[in-house]
Structure 1
């Protein structure tokens, strides 16, 4: 069920609320013509919101595309849920609710950044019947299907000290929320002269974000043991773009290369000299990769339609 908060013309912004299957309200933004021949759904990363996709979406060159962006549960203007329901799998089911409500028919292309890419992968696994029928393309940016515990941020997330933090969050969330905010301020000050991709600077940014400590902790625990390898067989049915920065230390490029190797219809794009923050640092290159995917999907559908005639 979607509750509109504004009436708009064909090509202006519409803000609506989608109610997830368990009642959590999800704040969404829709742009583009309602009769578009294709819908692009953008999924944001951890400690972000749907606005993080705006710079790249504004630069997409493919005309006539409808774009849906929404704040995932626990982020931005969306509602929160209990600790158990704050998971990648729950967010994948939220994506299904968004599609049923805001894009009930017509072809859809998913684009996920970092955690958002993991949500797209989980959706493909949990709703495999939709891939190749409703979902006709996928963009996976700075993300991974598995291997984070060996090569990426999961190495730190599995540290014993991190386990202690997670336990403290479950027992004293209010106190840990205050500690999180204080830690964010300390890290931000201490990292002023550090590079943008330094662990301290990005940690300060994450701790300072408005995302609650409960959501923050639960999702990091989930990501640490992520394995959505089964989703790759499902996504092999559709065109895809897999893209990442060559200097990403959180979700290394090698993990994107491993995904692309298992997706026969995927194009691998390397953003030279950039780290994990590809949406913020290289929106033009993200838009170019996404535009290429949308054009490829549209051309394929036109060829299929012409052959059927």
Structure 2
């Protein structure tokens, strides 16, 4: 398949979810169907820019949230990064911004958990779900974020701060940063990320099995988050679920193999539309 372009311009907009003002990017697109993208911890909506450029010319309007505590969205003063709050943010977006139009959800890591939990709770708003590299049983540690500096004197120094606390996926965790008069910092609510991950940890089999819509589970075989065996269990236990395994990819398949990732997603979307 020939894709229309490799990058996508986007317009930024804002909406309210409870007491927080949240941001989203509208990448446009030439279709009535909506693909809503949800990023992972320490990332933001722009991580999907290249992918959106390939998808939006194939009959989809592509939108991406900056989830609470990330990107240009508000940080919760109460450190409210609960499962219910993330899901309610998606609900507020669909109801208030899209007027209740059902969407196809694509979520990476944190976003993948939010996507399949949203589908379990609000199936009337979900046509299908694409889950990138997150399991039904989660046990991860983001405690290193409490050791990161509030500002670094340079982008290189910021990246070195990640190395010092033992992070190997430096590119992944330094994706969403900014510079101001005080130096370079992370756009994410660092203290909130620890709370968020703690709230993600646990067994979510009930949510994974609750929905009936089509799901594509994408797994990077070199992932530090889940195993291929666990991915296989998720597909075996849930009807109407497909698995795409990328042997040479890690946790962020959309970065490690953009072409293969796009082919897997577009193939699933085309099959779903038959």
Deviations 1:110-144 (A, max 9, x none): 1000110011122123x2xx31x331100001111
Task: From the superposition, tell whether residues 287 and 105 of structure 1 become closer, same or farther in structure 2 (CA, over 3 Å).
Answer: same
SS of 1:48's partner is coil
Task: From the superposition, tell whether residues 275 and 107 of structure 1 become closer, same or farther in structure 2 (CA, over 3 Å).
Answer: same
Query: 2: distance between equivalents of 1:203 and 1:226?
Result: 26
Q: Trace 1:142-157 onto structure 2 (pairs within 5 A).
A: 142-146=133-137, 148-149=138-139, 154=140, 156=141
- Name the residue aligned to 1:213: 190
Task: From the superposition, tell whether residues 292 and 122 of structure 1 become closer, same or farther in structure 2 (CA, over 3 Å).
Answer: same
- Name the residue aligned to 1:178: 149
RMSD: 3.0
1:27 and 2:4 are equivalent in the alignment? no
Aligned equivalent of 2:208, options 221, 232, 235: 232
Deviations 1:257-300 (A, max 9, x none): 2221222111110011111121211122221121122212221x
Greater C-alpha radius of gyration: 1
Q: Trace 1:1-309 onto structure 2 (pairs within 5 A).
A: 13-20=10-17, 22-33=18-29, 36-60=31-55, 63-125=58-120, 127=121, 130-131=122-123, 133-146=124-137, 148-149=138-139, 154=140, 156=141, 162=143, 178=149, 185-188=159-162, 200-202=167-169, 206=173, 209-223=186-200, 225-235=201-211, 237-299=212-274
Query: 1: distance between equivalents of 2:159 and 2:119?
Result: 38
Task: From the superposition, tell whether residues 229 and 75 of structure 1 become closer, same or farther in structure 2 (CA, over 3 Å).
Answer: same
**Structure 1: runs of 5+ lacking an equivalent:** 1-10, 170-175, 192-198, 300-309
Could you state the TM-score of these two structures normalised by the residue count of structure 2?
0.81
Query: 2: distance between equivalents of 1:103 and 1:262?
Result: 32
The range that moved more, 57-66 or 137-146, is 57-66
Task: From the superposition, tell whether residues 139 and 13 of structure 1 become closer, same or farther in structure 2 (CA, over 3 Å).
Answer: same
SS of 1:111's partner is strand
The Cα shift of 1:213 comes to 2.0
The Cα shift of 1:186 comes to 4.2
Q: As a proportion of its length, which structure holds more helix?
A: 1
SS of 2:203's partner is coil
Number of positions where the alignment pairs a residue of Structure 1 with one of Structure 2: 254
The Cα shift of 1:82 comes to 2.9
Q: As a proportion of its length, which structure holds more strand?
A: 2
